[in-house]
Chains A and B, each alone.
Chain A
Amino acid sequence: MEHRRLGDEHIAAEAAEWFLQFRDKQGKAVDPAAFAEWLTRSPAHVQEFLEVSTLWSTLGVRGSRGYDLEDLIAAARAEQAQRRVVPLVPARADTPLDTRRVSRRATRRFAVGIAASLLVGLAVWAGIALSRRGSELTTAVGEQRSITLSDGSVLFLNTNSQVRVRLGRQHRDIDLIRGEARFQVARNPHRPFVVVTADATIRALGTVFNVAMAKEGTQVAVIEGRVELRERGTSDPQPPLSAVGTASSTGSAEIGSRRQARLELAAGQRAAVTSKGIEPDVGPSIESVKAWTEHRLVFRDKTLAEVVGEFNRYRPQRLVIDDPGLAGLRISGTFDPSDPDSLVAYLGAVEAVQVSTPTDGNVHLSRGHK
């Protein structure tokens, strides 16, 4: 039932694209054969196409007239500005210094042009409105975003993820609420950069690292520099920052009988925080966490079930394993997450896998006959 609904929405999206392609006189003309092929896939395809056409004409007749053209454009521009930059906003009663800098900049812009300064003002205002509790940034399924924070750090947000950003004069706090993010931290010893998840606290100076929230816990991988990883709730109120990088030289923890509450990770190392505590060398490989910002999925000797789970993070329509015997099939390869056909083609080549796409919009995998 759930799958059917997702499938319908997928068809609705394709119908909208076909419809727009018909209307777009500048763009590439519609290939009638391709359209006919799409249209005759199922009655749902016919219905969705008729519905989107009907919607279009309804919009023309009954579409909104109650809007102001300037407001409409300004709101869209403000949203786009917000998408690109999270303005530096002092948290609570912090720092007159940053405010002054913003207003000085705004004044300069004012001299250049009223329109420009209005836009800046709008973006800053939107930032303030958002960041009383911090700015929240969210990506939908299949969406990836990179956001430059006002301290110069860059945040890459993977599919279906959410973070809250609070930047103050003495702190940079990021809550990873769900999903996965990579942090390229601008060095500033006076403003520690701390990422908090449900299980873990990760503290960094200048560094690049990846944090993913998985079912089993939080997985951290360091690409450059060093980070300090702590299990959430282990209270060590004043962690000696100087200790970072001086303790265990390799970062691999001495696994004693004691449950480990803290671990330093250097470049190329990874660890996970699970219900069992901190576990070194657990989680996705460094290679694969580097790859997602380049829109690649890297699998090394993973089961088909894991691979399909990973693909399904990126797309609303799903890959479904119908034959339980296939779930354990082991796979290695590099794929583009937006192109599941590459995986399907690959599967067809290595193993006798039968691929079918019924009307629910999902791709079903079962054991083929060879």
Chain B
Amino acid sequence: MSRRNQSPPDPLVERLAEDHGDDLLRYISRRVRTSADARDIAQEAYVRLLRIERKDLIRDPMPYLYRIAANVLYEFELKRREDLSGMLRWSSEYRVQHAEAAPQIGGDAESLALQDRLESVLRQLSPTCRAVLLLHRNEGMTYDEIAEQIGISSSMVKKYLSQALQHCRTHLKAFR
């Protein structure tokens, strides 16, 4: 069994956030397999956000949101595993291990398909959107550096970047 089962959610998520940074998001995305899952998680995270009285006291809202989402995910995962183990009690040891291994394999095939899909969505972008996105995300160039390379203002770089993200997001939606 993985250590996830032994740790209470909060420290686990905390550690994930600290140790992995961006990986936390991958952790989330790997576990959100269908858009229905994503909607449920967002819905639940939303309800929890609404329960917080003084939202203005949250100093770092983005990591805070991720923490909530990761918590929700963790609970969903636990619940799914309970359902699974109830169903497969007759050979729990083997089956549960198997069930845990399975998404890993599935995940790889899925991630290859995702990669293909991402590649083709990136090709659909206009030359400027594509350049801005790849230069910033892959090459780590700042807005100013990109602005100089392409010969546009740095506020336009930001506009193109946001456009590119929105395009990818909209066109990957159908896939997930």
Interface residues, chain A, with chain B CB atoms under 8 Å away: 9, 12-13, 15-17, 19-20, 22, 24, 26-27, 30, 32-33, 35-37, 39-40, 42-67, 69, 72-73, 75-80
Interface stretch of the complex, out of B10-18, B25-33, B77-85, B88-96: B25-33
**Which A residues are CB-close (under 8 A) to B59?**
32
Smallest Cβ distance from B120 to chain A, in angstroms? 10
Say yes or no: B151 contacts A39, CB within 8 Å. Answer: no
Q: List 9 A-B contacts (CB under 8 A).
A: A16-B166, A32-B58, A50-B41, A51-B38, A51-B169, A53-B66, A57-B25, A60-B22, A72-B135
Smallest Cβ distance from B138 to chain A, in angstroms? 6
Given A37-B55, A60-B22, A24 contacting B169 (CB threshold 8 A): no
Say yes or no: B168 contacts A39, CB within 8 Å. Answer: no
Say yes or no: B166 contacts A13, CB within 8 Å. Answer: yes
How far does the alpha carbon of A98 sit from the alpha carbon of B56 in the complex, in Å? 64
Smallest Cβ distance from A5 to chain B, in angstroms? 10
Smallest Cβ distance from B123 to chain A, in angstroms? 8
Q: Is B106 an interface residue (CB 8 A)?
A: no
**Which A residues are CB-close (under 8 A) to B133?**
59
Instruction: Find A59's partner among B66, B168, B170 (CB 8 Å cutoff).
Output: B168
Say yes or no: B137 contacts A35, CB within 8 Å. Answer: no
Q: Interface size for chain B: under 10, 10 to 19, 20 to 34, or 35 or more residues? A: 35 or more
Say yes or no: A73 contacts B45, CB within 8 Å. Answer: no
Say yes or no: B127 contacts A52, CB within 8 Å. Answer: no
**Which A residues are CB-close (under 8 A) to B132?**
76
Given A40-B46, A72-B135, A54 contacting B28 (CB threshold 8 A): yes
How far does the alpha carbon of A204 sit from the alpha carbon of B148 in the complex, in Å? 40
How far does the alpha carbon of A24 sit from the alpha carbon of B43 in the complex, in Å? 28
How far does the alpha carbon of A62 sit from the alpha carbon of B134 in the complex, in Å? 12
Instruction: Find A40's partner among B38, B50, B139 (CB 8 Å cutoff).
Output: B50
How far does the alpha carbon of A30 sit from the alpha carbon of B59 in the complex, in Å? 10
Say yes or no: A36 contacts B56, CB within 8 Å. Answer: yes
**Which A residues are CB-close (under 8 A) to B126?**
79
Say yes or no: B69 contacts A63, CB within 8 Å. Answer: no
Say yes or no: A43 contacts B58, CB within 8 Å. Answer: no
How far does the alpha carbon of A22 sit from the alpha carbon of B25 in the complex, in Å? 15
Say yes or no: A59 contacts B61, CB within 8 Å. Answer: no
Given A33-B55, A63-B134, A43 contacting B25 (CB threshold 8 A): no
Smallest Cβ distance from A71 to chain B, in angstroms? 9
Q: Which residue of B lies closest to A64 (CB)?
A: B122
Given A9-B166, A16-B169, A32 contacting B56 (CB threshold 8 A): yes
Q: Is B115 an interface residue (CB 8 A)?
A: yes
Say yes or no: B127 contacts A66, CB within 8 Å. Answer: no
14 other A-B residue contacts (CB within 8 Å) besides A26-B144, A80-B150: A9-B166, A9-B170, A19-B165, A30-B61, A39-B61, A47-B38, A56-B22, A56-B165, A57-B22, A57-B29, A59-B138, A62-B115, A64-B138, A72-B130
Within 8 A of A (CB), among B95-130: 111, 114-115, 118-119, 122, 126-128, 130
Smallest Cβ distance from A30 to chain B, in angstroms? 7
Say yes or no: B39 contacts A47, CB within 8 Å. Answer: yes
Smallest Cβ distance from A55 to chain B, in angstroms? 6
**Which B residues are CB-close (under 8 A) to A76?**
127-128, 130-132, 149-150
How far does the alpha carbon of A36 sit from the alpha carbon of B46 in the complex, in Å? 11
Say yes or no: A54 contacts B128, CB within 8 Å. Answer: no
Within 8 A of A (CB), among B152-176: 152, 158, 161-162, 165-166, 168-170, 172-173
**Which A residues are CB-close (under 8 A) to B169?**
12, 15-16, 48, 51-52, 55
How far does the alpha carbon of A2 sit from the alpha carbon of B32 in the complex, in Å? 26
How far does the alpha carbon of A20 sit from the alpha carbon of B166 in the complex, in Å? 11
Smallest Cβ distance from B124 to chain A, in angstroms? 12
How far does the alpha carbon of A340 sit from the alpha carbon of B166 in the complex, in Å? 22
Q: Is B142 an interface residue (CB 8 A)?
A: yes
**Which A residues are CB-close (under 8 A) to B66?**
53
Q: Is B76 an interface residue (CB 8 A)?
A: no
Say yes or no: A12 contacts B170, CB within 8 Å. Answer: yes
